[in-house]
Chains A and B, each alone.
Chain A
Amino acid sequence: MKIGFPVDSNNLDAQITEKMSSATWLLVIDTDDMSFEAVPAPQMSARSGAGVQGLTLLLEMGAEILMIGYIAPHIAQPLEKSGIKVITGVSGRVEDRVNQYAELNKSKIFTPQKGFARSAFQKTMKQFSSMLPVLLGVIMIMGLVQAFLSKELILKIFSKNPLMDTIIGTFTGSIFAGNPVNSYVIGQSLLKLGAGWAGVCALMFSWVSIGLVQMPAEVQAMGFRFTMVRNSAAFIITIVASLLTVFFAGVW
């Protein structure tokens, strides 16, 4: 959480100023690790509206909460509407106010207010129902794919070349999902049918770590960029890890 302050110097001992326009510095503190960023505040003499300029600067620095002595209600209202929490009547040392805020938040963790359970339940159901349609779709597609992919078919596509088999195994495993024990059972029966260790190992690795069919659900939950980066990285790392595993396990 980032908290923004109009202050009189560029360190954590700085005093919070009464108004935005009387600040010489603007400070944004990350409450995660108490790291902070300080920039000189716009000067009053430069042009009128230094307060608004200062506010804009704090928001650009990522402040999610604004702590200040006083702010005009007509400026505070639009900020609150756009999700910025404005706390007025604040004065004193910046570090003290941040610690005070963190303590207050900590106590909130253990003392949910009356009626909170109902709203938490409603929020949970809303979050869950937003994911439900995609989950249903993924289950249907997985059912279809797995019905068409038999052990015999997987065995047919293995080539006996360790590198090629690793790529094929990684791809095949990424289509399946579910309990990893299923991948062990399929892996062992593939070995018995004559498949190479590298391909089987890749299939077992990718079974859990890569999700080609469940990608729509992952995109919905985690975002497109995250899903693409994670699955691409997992694809390459699985190939390398499989080759290293069969090498170090002495089953090359």
Chain B
Amino acid sequence: MPFPKPLQSWIFPACAAATCIVVWIIVPEKINPTLRIIKTITLQMAIPLLISLFMMFLLNMYISAACITRLMGKKKGLSGMLFSSIAGIVSMGPVFAWFPFLKALKGKGMADIYLANFLSCRAVKPVLFPVLITYFGWRFSLVFIIMSLASAWGIAFVVFLSGKRLR
């Protein structure tokens, strides 16, 4: 019997919850750390998720698909890369908090290359530079940051190429 459509999206979280229950039964000492980490992650993503929600609202309210395609649509080249890089760098919190917003952007016509660039550029966090430098020193930090940005652009380029080949 097919699963009712509104409930289909709940299969995955139900399986995850079932796994937690199984762990609780088999390895009871691990359930407390698991719940603690779940709580930490939920708290960590609360603010970014609210920001993402607010931005989705603004997007649906003020920005048309034509505007998104003009800024970050196909063939926007360097300006699109720059926009998506900055957006990725300034975005905060866990990546999955941004997925609903990115889905909305994709729906409005944002090209895959810029979506991939946004996701990868999240590795570069200027506010964390002092921590990085304190822990690993100037030289390593500088190379690490440059490589993070270069990797992000490389990943975006591969996504772009794959899209072209499959078209």
- Given the interface contacts A31-B66, A137-B12, does A208 sit within 8 Å of B122 by beta carbon? yes
| Interchain CB contact under 8 A, A218 and B99 | yes
A187 interface residue per 8 A CB criterion: yes
**Contact flags B1-40 to A (C-beta < 8 A → 1, else 0):** 0000000011011011101100100000010011101100
Question: How far in angstroms is the closest Cβ of chain A from B7?
Answer: 9
| Interchain CB contact under 8 A, A188 and B95 | no
| Interchain CB contact under 8 A, A134 and B60 | no
Q: Is the interface of A mostly helix, strand, loop or mixed?
A: helix
| Interchain CB contact under 8 A, B106 and A222 | yes
| Interchain CB contact under 8 A, B66 and A177 | no
Closest 7 A/B residue pairs (Cβ): A143-B38, A137-B13, A233-B158, A140-B16, A221-B99, A120-B60, A120-B61
Ordered by A's residue number, 29 sampled pairs between the chains whose C-beta atoms are within 8 Å are A1-B66, A106-B66, A112-B61, A124-B53, A124-B104, A127-B56, A127-B100, A133-B9, A134-B12, A137-B13, A140-B16, A140-B38, A177-B95, A184-B128, A184-B131, A188-B135, A209-B123, A214-B95, A214-B96, A220-B99, A222-B106, A225-B162, A226-B116, A229-B158, A230-B119, A230-B159, A241-B147, A244-B143, A248-B143
Binding site for B on A (CB under 8 A): 1, 31-33, 35, 102, 105-106, 108-110, 112, 116-117, 120-121, 123-124, 127-128, 130-131, 133-144, 146-148, 177-181, 184-185, 187-188, 197, 201, 204-205, 207-209, 211, 214, 216-218, 220-222, 225-226, 229-230, 233-234, 237-238, 241, 244-245, 248-251
